[in-house]
């Protein structure tokens, strides 16, 4: 099931002022962009609008500012966009108000303007109708291309679409087509790899995906709740007490689908210099912490992934930010890169991992939205997409 919403190709944008909500929430280090993927992913929509004679007004948030905070200015994004597009991209002093309206009115087709961080206004996250209406006065058409915030009903992601005709950009279309294909019509065997820390954060995802997948590989901190449910000693490993019953029930009902690790890397501390050892899952010492899947599990997971037709990955296999515990996550990333499956990486930590291990470009699709891709895969409706016009 692809995107059932109109896209920029379904409307005439020539000579029109178009407000485009992008997700330029890029990581910054002292004002320097450390990863510009969210900017480059927005380029197809922006370039299409320029080529088709629209005036492009870009809106985005950056971080979680409390009021106007200079370190959350979109200035570095304006500079990078100008480089990538090969044309000036002025950053306006605000996202609403007289000066902004005057700059937009003075612009002409083919121009690209960037509004300052919409979250400098608390009305943005509260989705205040008057604020959304103010944003809407800047344009005649609204395009949402911010998949990373599509699960939030904010003024610039949902509210504006109540005033302006709203359509999807190419990035949202691509995200929904890839994620939708995985959920609705996967090439089999369909393998999901899930990690992360707490089982309870993934219950909705597991419940929605389990009936659809052929195998579910579980790693990361959440796996120890499953081991505890099996009666194993888990030492000082992460335990999600509230989900023990749930884990036991899953194992009892789906023994054929769920694949757990067979060995675990343990240590007394989660540091870059920790001494580690590998133990069987039924032999975790009471005084140690489980922090990654071991070599036998890596080989097992690799074999399942290489046999997949579709593979969906959400959540790391261990504390991969620390060198002694990165091997499990790296092994999954590399197996996905070497498989012939349609490979989909569900944003967040998994997206960071494929970047870190240099295989992002070997994936069929790396989602730009952590929370948004998670909610979509849980089967929830995303308000920022629901608000757009339906295809006839």
Alpha carbon 91 to chain centroid, angstroms: 26
C-alpha span between 266 and 248 (Å, rounded)? 23
- Cα end-to-end distance, the chain, whole Å: 16
Active site residues: 38, 198, 348, 371
List Cβ neighbours of 226 (8 Å cut-off, separation of 6 or more): 199, 218, 247, 250, 251, 258, 260
C-alpha span between 70 and 320 (Å, rounded)? 32
C-alpha span between 144 and 19 (Å, rounded)? 8
Residues in the chain: 392
289-293 sheet: strands from edge to edge = 276-280, 263-267, 289-293
User: Is 18 within 8 Å of 57 (Cβ atoms)?
Assistant: yes
- Which residue is associated with the tokens 């007289």? 98
And the tokens for 388?
Answer: 């757009």
- Which residue is associated with the tokens 């590998």? 278
141-144 sheet: strands from edge to edge = 112-114, 55-59, 17-21, 141-144, 166-168
List Cβ neighbours of 236 (8 Å cut-off, separation of 6 or more): 286, 287, 288, 289
CA distances from 236 to 29, 198, 221, 224, 325 (A): 34, 15, 11, 10, 16
- 43 HSE (CA, 13 A, CB side): 15
And the tokens for 377?
Answer: 């895969």
Query: What single-letter DSSP state applies at residue 268?
Result: S
User: Is 352 within 8 Å of 122 (Cβ atoms)?
Assistant: no
CA distances from 361 to 41, 333, 381 (A): 13, 11, 29
């Amino acid at each position: 099931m692809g995107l059932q919403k109109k896209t920029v190709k379904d409307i005439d944008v020539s000579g029109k002022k178009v407000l485009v909500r992008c997700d330029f929430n890029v990581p910054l280090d002292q004002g320097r962009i450390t990863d510009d993927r969210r900017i480059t992913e927005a380029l197809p929509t922006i370039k299409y609008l320029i080529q088709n004679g629209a005036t492009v007004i870009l809106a985005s948030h950056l971080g979680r500012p409390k009021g106007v905070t200079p370190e959350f200015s979109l200035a570095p994004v304006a500079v990078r966009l100008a480089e990538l597009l090969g044309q000036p991209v002025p950053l306006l002093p605000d996202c609403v108000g007289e000066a902004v309206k005057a700059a937009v009115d003075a612009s002409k087709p083919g121009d690209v303007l960037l509004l300052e961080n919409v979250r400098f206004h608390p009305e943005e996250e509260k989705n205040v109708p008057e604020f959304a209406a103010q944003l809407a006065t800047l344009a005649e058409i609204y395009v949402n291309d911010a998949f990373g915030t599509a699960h939030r009903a904010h003024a610039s992601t949902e509210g504006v679409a109540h005033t302006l005709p709203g359509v999807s950009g190419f990035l949202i279309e691509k995200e929904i087509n890839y994620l939708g294909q995985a959920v609705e019509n996967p090439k089999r065997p369909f393998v999901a790899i899930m990690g992360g820390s707490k089982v309870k954060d993934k219950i909705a995802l597991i419940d929605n995906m389990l009936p659809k997948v052929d195998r579910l590989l579980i790693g990361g901190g959440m796996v120890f709740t499953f081991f505890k449910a099996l009666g194993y000693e888990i030492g000082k490993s992460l335990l999600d007490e509230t989900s023990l019953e749930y884990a036991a029930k899953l194992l009892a009902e789906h023994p054929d689908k769920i694949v757990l690790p067979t060995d675990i890397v343990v240590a007394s501390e989660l540091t870059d210099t920790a001494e580690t050892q590998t133990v069987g899952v039924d032999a975790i010492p009471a005084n140690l912490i489980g922090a990654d899947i071991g070599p036998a599990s890596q080989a097992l997971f690799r074999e399942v992934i290489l046999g997949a037709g579709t593979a969906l990955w959400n959540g790391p296999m261990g504390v991969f930010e620390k060198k002694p515990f990165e091997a499990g996550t790296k092994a999954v990333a590399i197996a996905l890169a070497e498989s012939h499956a349609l490979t989909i990486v569900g944003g967040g930590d998994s997206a960071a991992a494929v970047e870190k291990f240099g295989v992002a470009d070997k994936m069929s699709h790396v989602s730009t939205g952590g929370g948004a891709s998670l909610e979509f895969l849980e089967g929830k409706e995303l308000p920022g997409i629901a608000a757009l016009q339906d295809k006839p």
